Structure 1
Amino acid sequence: MRMKHLASPLMPPSEMGEKVRQFPWEDTPLGPILSWPATLRIAVDMLLVSKVPTCLVWGAQLSTIYNDAFNEMLGKRQVLGCSFDDVLGESWEKVGPILFKALSGEATLIENLPLIINRNGASEPSYFTFSCTPVRDESGAIVGVLDKVIETTAHVQSEQQWRMLAFAHEQQVRARTADLEHLWQLSGGMAQDVKNLLGGICSSLALLEQRLAQGHLERLDTCIESARGAANQAVALADRLLAFSCFQALDPQPVNVTQLIDGMAAVLSQSLGSQITLQMHLELLPWTVLVDVEQLQHALQSLCLNACDALPNGGRVIVSTGNVRYDACEQGHDGLLPGDYTYVQVEDNGCGMGPEAVVRAFEPFFTGKSAGQGHGLGLAMIYGFVRQSGGRALIESEPGKGTRVRLLLPRHLTQD
């Protein structure tokens, strides 16, 4: 009796074994269980005792019988006796060709196949390894396929996460290497600058010593002023480095930026030269800001000199001030908080910069100038000073359309 065969003591009791015995197979293409051929009974016995998730696909209608392990992968879905394409649903498009290869006599193994699986009422991305083996009857004809399935989702996701971590680590190593290269460049450049300044001081002192030894007391003030000038430049260089690193002790004061910049007009015009026209668009009633005057003056001069470098054949530089209000927090790590700001802006109609240079413009050590013409600290130091003052520095530029740099400084209400 077939039922007795399926309940053979050789087969340990299982949930799916009982469901197979009780299922109304007479209502399916397989027909009553007592009429099943020996090949089908043996195949069912094999899959029911297997601990590997296995599904038997039988006949032209692709009827399915599966074991407990396969049932666990299905979740709450009950698809015993259904056609295999219905069991797989939207995954059939990928798995179907594998099954048909086995039905044609070719055993197949596909590892880590990505599928979207609907189980427990929800679709989720998963990965599976399929091993499909043809099943032949007594005459050698292929009558079904034993499909062993191993879910590898956890393994694949673990590998993906490992690759992501490895990639992130590689990027960190590259970034650190780049930082070291930048530091080497900076060290070399700063060492040369300091050497030049110290050389000027030493030369002036040597000349002063020589004249004193010879009793020539005239024009000693020239040597003293030359040494003092080089020393002051060294102090200014140290101050700029401190501002860049945000460790400089600023001396913030309530400032009317329009009055400050209006007083610098002559100096700025002279620094730009005769080929460049300087225009001033200044707000009559700017909001008061709390800022270090000398650092703001230095920032404005540096921005004008950068604009001058972008105008080798002459052009126009516009220095402007104004008030602006931000009602919502700006997005991004460098976003502004809501509030009132006064801006100082320098705009030129020079050569401009591409998008990659714009993104990196405030990075320390980044420069578009030729080797030996800049260390890439100018904009970085301005950025550090403005951040230390509670504001932000923004830049806009396009090749051939000039550059606009805006320094946003928070309104100082208590002194307004």
Structure 2
Amino acid sequence: MTDEHQTEGPARPVRWATITGVEVTPVAFADPPLLNSVGVHQPWAIRSVIRVRTDAGVVGLGESYGDQAFLGRLRQMGERLVGERIVDLHRLEEIARDVLAELTVSDTHGLTGTLSPVKSVARLVAAFEVALLDAQGHQLGVPVWALLGGQRRSRVEFSGYLFYKWAGHPGQPDDEWGPALDPAGVVAQARRMVEGYGFTSLKLKGGVFPPEQEAEAVLALAEAFPGMPLRIDPNAVWTVDTSVRVAERLRGVLEYYEDPTDGRAQMAEVARRVDVPLATNMCVVGVEDLPEAVRLGSVQVVLADHHYWGGLRASMELARTAEVFGLSLSMHSNSHLGISLAAMVHFGAAAPNIGYAFDTHWPWKSPEEDVVEPGVFTFRDGHLDVPTAPGLGVTLDEEALARQHRRYLEAGILDRDDTAYMQTVDPGYRALKPRW
């Protein structure tokens, strides 16, 4: 009798590829004048593209922030990774801590959580972890979601991300989106999002105009799109009382209420006084924040962000821990390219406890300005199909990378600074918290 599980011989061990070189390329792509609680987007969004080369010929791709100091840290870390195996992900945090011995932080635009040495390490780790997972996937011939525990869903849902915006950048022609400075403009923008991408939920970036005016915009959306799940995110610039007043005005309209006020204690006070779930990417930014947030009842939804949390594995840890505490998950977005979008989709494919559509800035970027070859991602009914190709499932477009690097050199923007850019238009502008 033979054992059906018997093998013909011992499995051959994998000889994991070793890193032979790392390239960090800053890029820029056109960004509309999207308004937020600390100012307005500059004409160019800056990002970094990471390419990890190996002795096995496989290449791993990553994408991250593009601020000048952060680029320097990425390059330092890339140099120290040469000689490491692509499987030894635990080494990333050790090397990142060495690189950041003299701390320099990035992402200072004020729209994410607190800056700290821990988060600076997490950002560095995330940039390279995605690239190494991509390389592992290519070496093994499996998608990244397989390395995260397997595929839970074949499609990942995204939400249309609405912004108040000017018609165009000062001194430049109006862009194709036009202005959105009142409820009618926001609804028109939403129609274009829904018609173009099929989104079945919508989020408005608030904190720009008086809260009553922003509530009117959400109510206009509810009238224009009956039954559609809606969200608003004023980035914590409202007081507790203002947050409660707006929630009462929008009773029965919001699917969740994102960061209306600042800090876990104040969010908990709002939660006690309203009947809508509170969400955050600002007051819970690490697993260590969860116990207090749960004890206080600060939030019911946490927005993951693999760039900010320390990579895809750390985001999976967040998902499992949040599930233990009875919290649900969505995902935060910033201006991004196709490599980041791919990483978000693989996380969405594998993660437990996803209760809401993910954010994405994707529609705000021209398809011609991406750095990956087109054709992998097409939105249908607000969803993206999960790739089945090895790694992230995207391929770097060399000509596009060179073009967008030239854009970076020509743009002359070394750091994202929404407040300083707003002050070129309104010299008296100040980023205030709270503002209302």
**TM-score, scaled to structure 2:** 0.21
Q: More helix by proportion, 1 or 2? A: 1
Task: Look at both structures and tell me which one has the larger radius of gyration over its CA atoms.
Answer: 1
Larger relative contact order (Cα-Cα within 8 Å, sequence gap ≥ 6): 2
Superposition TM-score, scaled by structure 1 size: 0.22
Instruction: Please state which structure has a larger fraction of its residues in strand.
Output: 1
